[in-house]
Structure 1
């Protein structure tokens, strides 16, 4: 559809379904300042501290004494965070923060989860992880407020990767994530080809919109159309934290885009980046990169070499992902992380391995599916659709079989980029096509989220190895809440 047609209805735009209920809830609790922030992206001048030492995210402790078992309690609850001096911001947190779970291939996982969010259902979705369908935290299995459930699953061989977890209740996902609910799940291999001398540093990107009184304003109409983009980008909950490194040091950095809707086109000034991993773990061989794009929900693993004394900054470049209406945020020129490189040289570091692992190409597909992403105005209501339909929890959109290799064509006929995520498996990107030009990936990788540029078709190869219903959706979370999601029933 054409942008000029779509924007004619903005003045009287209405939102229907669960997202409308959440928005009315938010508006009912608004202060006068909140109401001001319903206007498009006014932006405030609240200053957040910068340059503090990068802090590690808290670890979720293993309560099991038995080898091969990770057992813990996890609670989603309201909390307070002091982002700016003298101001406490009400948020939602897991165990009081954004915890990291670390386990190994072959481990058994048992998480006793409690929903402590007043008046709202929630789930825990183990994003990208090969878990059984009934343990995946889908919107079909909500955990009601005040209740508990156990998530239990095994980590198969070959599943080592950088995963994360977040809520997935239909219509409430976007709000619960931007209010703070996200965590990291690291699955380690039994033998890691990346030298231990590089360390293993988690960088979780979130963004924050905070009013001058410290409150978190409700989402506005522009947020629902474009996805909520905050005024401040945080790394492990901090604005532009500092990382101390020595000259010649190499660091393994895991980058997680845990924002609702922000796209990061990243460059490391005064440092060299080598890509070694994506959503589904290590790639086959390292690839030197000057910059990279990290869409919502995507992850990468980098080896960064800090060879020159001074300052190395992880910065953002401009990226045009499509924006409807006023208030387009400035994407370029942000500094997300500053590495301070000392004159003192680091101990000799081993080189980056030439070979990381072997990724076998999936077999020839036996089924082809075509999923078309569009936007629509239905009367004065806005919808985001897949194959002309919005999400319905009672409907099965596609039927598949365990072990069946499929080719999915994701066709973006909308006005903006849509990062496309499939539950329950990792896929391989076969090709991108836009304006009649076809491009193949320059390296083979496992992915669970791929950005589909406006006007582009992306073809992916996938195979589901576990039965049950699985979601597929846009990972701009507001678009997911507004219907850009479907269900594939994987039959044994």
Structure 2
């Protein structure tokens, strides 16, 4: 639906569509900065001036603390995770209450190996709210996946247990997935990293293994995290500050001619990050589901919400190199469109002195088996609707013209069957598409009548579907049970852009 049609759609049209739409009160609408409500018969309220605190910058990039295993047996990882409120200082002299795993936001990094047994006891100490842990992208049983149908009540503890199969080495992460509270719990701080390592890694150890987790933050003058506005619900929440490992523009020192392995995680609710290291050469070596078959040189990369990438960056010149954002048009409705071009996320100081000679990156990294011929074709169409009612503005985001219903199974698939899914975006902005329980391979993109193959074959669990684009992908679910598929703009997921796939044997 075109933006003008979307923003002016009448409530009568929506009422006949039979959708369950989210509703915002008039007061919330009037608080939207710069919104002129006179056309809807509502008096315009002066916009409140935006207040943004100055965050500390330039500190040394910190490594995320590892979560220690409490097991003495090799091959068994046992630990405890607790989600609870805590306070941090992003700005000098101002305390901010966040949600954190084990007192850390981003949460602790879990590192395990293919073949390991994982047993983690999760305690939900968030007052008055259900939560879960969704092991994003990981091949875990359905009853261990942290789906919204399996909530952990406030004050309760629940054990998660699963095995990491051979071939599962990749850059995963974990976050809450409770029905109706996912977006808020994530932007308040709940996200963590889960690295699954292979027994033998083809990437030279001399490159290191540096995790960069991107989150964003919006604070009021008092340091409190601001609640979502109507603009946030329409577009997904985009904060005022982009953080790396919880820091604003941290600094990393490297010797001349160093090669560094970076794992990039977009853990924001809705921010699209088009990234470049400037003159430093970038090579993609892995995606959501692990290493590529061969390295692929790039000038920049696009990281949609929930996507991950592994890069090798070569620092061949002395001086300062910055990881910066580039302009990207993802579509925007209403006021407050952020200007994301030119944000410095990480500053790398390259010394004049060379370090130890670096081994070359192997020409072959791994083998990705083709999924084969699909036995079923399916279509998933993204749409959006908005309108006015006596109670306020109503909006909804839909897949195949229906909003999410936790008591309805939308798709039934057979375990082991290869399927072709066409994901069609007829909405007015980009939507990143995520499937639980498996990794898929993108076959092709189609936009404006032009069909293009992906730049390389890769395992993915999240793929951006641009406005007016169709993405075709092959997938196979191996583990039975109910799974989710949804837009990973978390506000859109909560407003209906999600479905349930039941995997049967």
Write out per-residue CA displacement over residues 377-409 of structure 1, whole angstroms, 9 at most, x where no aligned residue: 365420000000000010000000110000000
1-structure distance, mates of 2:47, 2:209: 39
Question: Structure 1's 19 and 215: CA in aligned 2 closer, same or farther, altered over 3 A?
Answer: farther
In structure 1, the residue matched to 2:54 is: 47
Q: CA deviation at 1:267?
A: 0.7
Contact 1:18–1:170, Cα closer than 8 Å, also in 2: no
- Confirm whether residue 371 of structure 1 aligns to residue 384 of structure 2: no
How many angstroms apart in 2 are the aligned matches of 1:92 and 1:39?
Answer: 32
Residue 501 (structure 2) aligns with: 488
The equivalent of 2:322 in structure 1 is 313
Match of 1:195 among 204, 207, 220: 204
Q: Give 1:156's aligned residue.
A: 165
2:423 equivalent in structure 1? 410
Aligned to 2:77: 70
Match of 2:466 in 1: 453
Distance 2:20 2:10 in 1: 18
> Is the CA contact (8 Å cut-off) linking 1:40 and 1:222 kept in structure 2?
no
Partner SS, residue 381 of structure 2 = strand
Among 76, 95, 98, the alignment partner of 1:88 is: 95
1:165 touches 1:184 (CA, 8 Å); kept in 2? yes
> 1:411-426 alignment to 2 at 5 Å?
411-426=424-439
Q: What is the aligned partner in structure 2 of residue 121 from structure 1?
A: 130
Residue of structure 2 equivalent to 1:33: none
Pairing partner for 2:300 from 291, 297, 313: 291
Q: What residue in structure 1 maps to residue 34 of structure 2?
A: none
**Cα offset, 1:43, TM superposition:** 3.9
The answer to whether the 8 A contact 1:207-1:259 is kept is yes
Answer yes or no: is the 8 Å Cα contact 2:52–2:240 preserved in 1. no
The aligned residue for residue 4 of structure 2 is 4
2: distance between equivalents of 1:222 and 1:107? Answer: 44
**Distance between the aligned counterparts of 2:97 and 2:324, measured in 1?**
29
- TM-superposed deviation, 1:73: 0.3
Unaligned runs of 5+ in 2: 32-44
Question: Offset at 1:44?
Answer: 2.5
Q: Cα 1:73–1:39, aligned 2, differ >3 Å: closer, same or farther?
A: farther
The TM-score normalised by the length of structure 1 is 0.94
Alignment of 1:305-384 (within 5 A): 305-377=314-386, 380=389, 381-384=394-397
How far the C-alpha of 1:17 sits from its partner, in A, is 7.5
Q: Is the 8 A contact 2:22 2:395 kept in 1?
A: no
Can you list the C-alpha shifts for 1:229-281, whole angstroms capped at 9, x where unaligned?
A: 00000000000000000001010000000000000000102311110000000
Could you tell me how far apart the structure 2 residues matched to 1:408 and 1:246 are?
46
Structure 1 CA distance for aligned equivalents of residues 299 and 213 of structure 2? 21
Quote the RMSD (CA, aligned, Å): 2.0
Partner of 1:231: 240
Distance 1:83 1:400 in 2: 46
Match of 1:56 in 2: 63
Deviation of 1:130 (Å)? 0.3
Cα separation, partners in 2 of 1:133 and 1:110, compared to 1, 3 Å: same
Give the conservation status (yes or no) of the 8 Å contact 2:9–2:387.
no
| CA deviation string 1:46-99 (max 9, x = no partner) | 111111100011111100001100000000000001000000101000001111
Q: Where in structure 1 are there 5+ consecutive unaligned residues?
A: 31-37
What do the CA deviations read for 1:312-339 (whole angstroms, capped 9, x no partner)? Answer: 1000010000000011001101000000
Give the TM-score normalised by the residue count of structure 2: 0.92
> Does the 8 A contact of 2:7 with 2:387 survive in 1?
no
Q: Do the aligned partners of 2:272 and 2:303 also contact (CA within 8 Å) in 1?
A: yes
Is 2:487 the partner of 1:474?
Answer: yes
Cα distance in structure 1, aligned partners of 2:461 and 2:49: 34
Change in CA separation of 1:39 and 1:169 when aligned onto 2, cut-off 3 Å = farther
> Structure 1: how far apart are the matches of 2:413 and 2:328?
36
Task: Identify the residue that residue 37 of structure 2 maps to in structure 1.
Answer: none
Aligned length: 477
Q: Which residue of 2 aligns with 1:34?
A: none
Shift of 1:42: 5.4
